[in-house]
Chain A
Amino acid sequence: MRLLRYIMFLLLLLPCCGALAAGSSHQEEKTVDVKKIIFDHVKDSYEWHITTVNDKHITLPLPVIIYSSRTGWEVFLSSVFHDVDEYRGFRISREGNYEGKIVELDAEGNEQRPLLDLSLTKTVVSVFIISFLLMLIVVGTARWYRNRKPSDKAPRGFVGVMEMVIDMVVESVIKPNVGSRYKRYVSFLLTVFFMIFLTNLMGLLPIFPGGANVTGNISVAMALALCTFVAVNIFGNKEYYKEVFWPDVPVWLKAPLPLMPIIELVGVVVKPFALTIRLFANILAGHTALLAFVSIIFVTMAVNKYIGSAMTVVSVFFTIFMNVLELLVAFIQAFVFTMLSSVFIGLSQPEHRKTKH
């Protein structure tokens, strides 16, 4: 019955697609550059493109903050580039290594990045929005417990869900992996989990203020991994550093050539990279796949409106499927990142070994 309803819904979509095809028939020659659409989306940008109505782009201009050796600090809105190509010697590069980034020209006329680029880009603003939301949600949840005793009724509704998720993460991820001193790391690991989870979910919302590819950006994932790296290595105990620099292996493996210490050090550095790449690649792939499925509509519509209409059904079906899958991935990636961070932190706190084999 339910399946039938879905099919009906999809059939109802068909006329809409037909109308869409008719509307765009006068510009059939225009080819669809899927690669550009996808890259424009997944890459960071200096303005937030929300939608296009009648060929008019509705964008949210964002502040550009740069420090150049030539002019010092510069702050202006990215909307200046709508009208002029170059503003005070800066422009957005169209090709090359810095494509899409703000560049300035050096003495030889080559494009060159300014010394510092602290612009509030789409991703940064998205991160701010998500951070604000996250603080609102968690502090709001914590406020519920004020003036309540443990003997009071358990929360229901949203606070209940939050409590369930927090308890799940603490009980099934943090406690077993971090070990006996898990209490110190609970806040950090929960923040990491909710930050990634919320960001992933916001990325799945198709319109502003969601829809930005945030965790699918390598810098964001790397920042999170760096935090874990700090948590692991700053708070690692003596045993951990002994295992890195003087592991329990035959002496010729560590002196005179420090073979094992080198391998261990590589491991220390590789761990955050593994975290970064896993998160970033998964989310990036999800966004790319979703956009690719949506693009099928426009690509096939450009070929023929009948094929286009037929493929629209397929595309909508696959997009829904991908969206649901990404919902799962959003949770799994947050979960995995938290779990691996817990494992790494747990490894940095080895309990003193009592028996040696």
Chain B
Amino acid sequence: MSLLLPDAGLLFWMLLAFGVVFVVLYKYGFPIIVSMIDARKKYIDDALNGAKEANARIANVEEECNALVEDARKKQVEILREATAAKEQMMDEARGKADAETQRIIADAKKEIERQREDALSFVREEAAKVAIAVAEKILRDELADESSQQDYIEKLVDRINGDKKVTEGK
């Protein structure tokens, strides 16, 4: 029967021991451990979420990268085409300029030739006139050596002038 009867002394010591253990563990034991476990759980959860976000971001970055590469390739093609066009244009322009220059030079040369021809012609004409006058002088000097011939010549000239007058009046 004594097994079922609580003993006051034992009850007292047990309560005391439990009380001391409880106070000590309340101060220096369990709260520290439990809060640490909670903190670690939170940290792990946060880390997991962070990893998830990072993964999503990496996937995005990859897409962005691909888009950038695609863009760059497009731009490259565009630039190449533009460059080719510019080259063509420049070459065309250069060719045009060269043609114009050639034409201009040819034209200048033609003008120069023309002018020089004119000069030559006028020089020749002058020389021919000078020779003709000299010849005419010589002829006139020979023909008009005596008085009678001189008289004849004047008459002839007057006649011719009159004849010219008639022609002019007849008009």
Partners in one complex: yes
Check B2–A131 contact: CB distance below 8 A.
Answer: no
Q: Known contacts being A145-B36, A190-B25, is A118 close to B13, with CB within 8 Å?
A: yes
Q: How many A-B residue pairs have CB under 8 A?
A: 129
Q: Which residues of B contact A116 (CB under 8 A)?
A: 8-9
Partner-contacting stretch, out of A95-103, A201-209, A235-243, A332-340: A95-103
> Distance (Å) between the CB of A238 and the closest chain B CB?
26
Interface residues on A, range: 35 or more
Q: Number of B residues whose C-beta is below 8 Å from A? A: 36
8 Å CB interface, A170-226 against B: 170, 186-188, 190-191, 195, 217-220, 222-224, 226
Q: Given A145-B36, A151-B43, is A135 in contact with B15 using a C-beta cutoff of 8 Å?
A: no
A141 interfacial by beta-carbon distance below 8 Å: yes
Structural contact, A145 and B7, CB atoms closer than 8 A: no
B32 interfacial contact with A, CB 8 Å? yes
Interface hits, B97-132 → A, CB 8 Å: none
**Are B25 and A166 in contact, with the CB atoms below 8 A?**
no
CB <8 Å contact, A186 and B37:
no
B 6-28 binary contact with A (CB < 8 Å = 1; else 0): 11111111110110111011101
Are B21 and A186 in contact (CB-based, < 8 A)? no
* B153 located at the interface, meaning its Cβ lies under 8 Å from any Cβ of chain A in the complex: no
Tell me whether A226 and B15 are in contact in the complex, defined as CB-CB below 8 angstroms, given that A186-B30, A186-B34 are known contacts.
yes
B residues less than 8 Å from A186 (CB atoms):
30-31, 34
B31 close to A135 (CB less than 8 A):
no
Q: Is B39 in contact with chain A by the CB < 8 A criterion?
A: yes
B139: A residues at CB distance < 8 A = none
**Interchain CA distance A272-B14 in the complex, whole Å:** 16
B14 to chain A, nearest CB (A): 4
Tell me which residues from 89 to 128 in chain A have a Cβ below 8 Å from any Cβ of chain B: 97-101, 116-121, 123-124, 127-128
Q: Please give the distance in Å from B164's CB to the nearest CB on chain A.
A: 134
Contact for B13 among A124, A163, A190, CB less than 8 A: A124
Verify if A227 is at the interface (C-beta below 8 Å from B).
yes
Given contacts A135-B21, A145-B33, A187-B26, contact A284 B14 (CB under 8 A): no
Question: Which of B2, B6, B17, B33 is close to A142, meaning CB atoms less than 8 Å apart?
Answer: B33
**Smallest distance from the beta carbon of B45 to chain A beta carbons, Å?**
11
Q: A135-B25, A186-B31, A186-B34 are in contact. Are A121 and B2 (CB under 8 A)?
A: no
Task: List chain A residues, Cβ under 8 A from B2.
Answer: 43, 97-101
Q: How far is the CB of B89 from chain A (nearest CB, A)?
A: 65
CB distance from A351 to the nearest CB of B (A): 22
Give B contacts to A, CB under 8 Å: 1-15, 17-18, 20-22, 24-26, 28-34, 36-37, 39-40, 42-43
Return 20 A-B CB contacts under 8 Å, by A number.
Answer: A39-B3, A44-B10, A116-B9, A118-B13, A120-B13, A121-B9, A124-B9, A127-B13, A127-B14, A135-B24, A138-B25, A138-B30, A139-B28, A151-B43, A166-B37, A186-B31, A190-B30, A190-B34, A220-B10, A222-B6
Question: Nearest 7 A-B pairs (CB), nearest first?
Answer: A223-B14, A150-B39, A219-B10, A138-B29, A150-B43, A142-B32, A187-B26
Known contacts A127-B13, A145-B36, A163-B37; can you find 15 more A-B pairs with CB under 8 A? A39-B3, A117-B9, A118-B13, A124-B14, A127-B14, A131-B17, A135-B21, A150-B42, A151-B43, A154-B40, A166-B30, A166-B37, A191-B25, A191-B26, A227-B18
